[in-house]
């Protein structure tokens, strides 16, 4: 359930692109290129806007918010009101806090990249080629990757990640029933100083706690 909220990306920019990868050597180069871009940010912060679309393209939900990420595996996603939620991970467990419901859900974090896509931005990405078939295209300052999980039990069918001038720009994820979640990142800062304390959650008094 929580992992679903972390799926993402917006439509990639339309550019004249180089051919998509095909061979095993190209797969290795694509994984190396993506790993290099992701690993440049040991910490990251900024804003985002997110849109969720149904399989027929209907707009199901639009939200905005802020995020902070720190390797290995720590992240904090705050969604603005009126659909306010706070998603926090210390790399071992995840807290999902809904202030309107006065409820927090706690679960152990699934560290598989195919089940917790946010780990592409904050986790260990050294096993990209083992987990995904990767295609890529590059035009000007934009590099666009499409990741297809090799395992059938993944939380998503396809994940697209786009970078502009070496900084993540957007992500788009489609799930097995055709629902798409698009995230556009804004004002992203690479490697700002971030305190580990913001990646833990102190449960407010009177809040219902659900452990999964």
pLDDT of residue 23: 65
Of the given ranges (15-24, 174-183, 196-205), which has the lowest mean pLDDT? Answer: 15-24
pLDDT in tens, 74-84: 999 999 999 99
Residue 209, in any domain of the structure: no
Residue 208, in any domain of the structure: no
Confidence (pTM): 0.80
b/e burial code for range 112-140 (CB count within 10 A of at least 16 → b): bbbbbbbbbbbbebeebbebbebbbbeee
Residue 207, in any domain of the structure: no
pLDDT of residue 152: 77
Task: Indicate which CATH number applies to the domain containing 137.
Answer: 2.50.20.10
User: What is the residue whose two structure tokens read 């990767």?
Assistant: 134
- Expressed as residue numbers, the domain containing 113 is 2-10+19-201
Residue 193, in any domain of the structure: yes
Q: Number of structural domains, the chain?
A: 1
- How confident is residue 16, by pLDDT bands cut at 50, 70 and 90? very low
Residue 211, in any domain of the structure: no
**pLDDT higher than 80, residue 113:** no
**pLDDT higher than 80, residue 12:** no
Residue 160, in any domain of the structure: yes
Mean pLDDT over each residue of the chain, to the nearest integer: 84
Residue 61, in any domain of the structure: yes
pLDDT in tens, 27-85: 888 888 998 899 899 999 999 999 998 888 888 889 999 999 999 889 999 999 999 99
**pLDDT higher than 50, residue 4:** no
Which residues have a Cβ under 8 Å from the Cβ of 165 and sit 6 or more positions away? 141
114 or 176, which is more confident? 176
């Amino acid at each position: 359930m929580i992992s679903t909220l972390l799926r993402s990306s917006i439509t990639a920019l339309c550019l004249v692109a180089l051919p998509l990868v095909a061979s095993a050597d190209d797969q290795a180069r694509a994984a190396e290129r993506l790993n290099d871009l992701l690993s440049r940010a040991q910490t990251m912060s900024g804003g985002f806007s997110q849109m969720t679309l149904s399989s027929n393209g209907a707009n199901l939900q639009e939200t905005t918010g802020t995020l902070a990420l720190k390797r290995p595996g720590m992240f904090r996603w705050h969604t603005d009101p009126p659909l306010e939620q706070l998603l926090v991970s210390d790399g071992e467990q995840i807290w999902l806090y809904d202030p309107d419901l006065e409820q927090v859900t706690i679960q152990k974090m699934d560290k598989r990249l195919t089940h917790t896509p946010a780990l592409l931005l904050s986790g260990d990405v050294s096993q990209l080629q083992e987990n995904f078939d990767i295609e890529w295209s590059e035009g000007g300052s934009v590099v666009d990757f499409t990741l297809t999980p090799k395992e059938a039990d993944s939380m998503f069918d396809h994940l697209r990640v786009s970078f502009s001038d070496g900084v993540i720009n957007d992500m788009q994820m489609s799930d097995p029933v055709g629902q798409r979640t698009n995230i556009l990142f804004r004002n992203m800062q690479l490697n700002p100083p971030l305190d580990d304390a913001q990646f833990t959650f102190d449960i407010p008094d009177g809040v219902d706690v659900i452990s999964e």
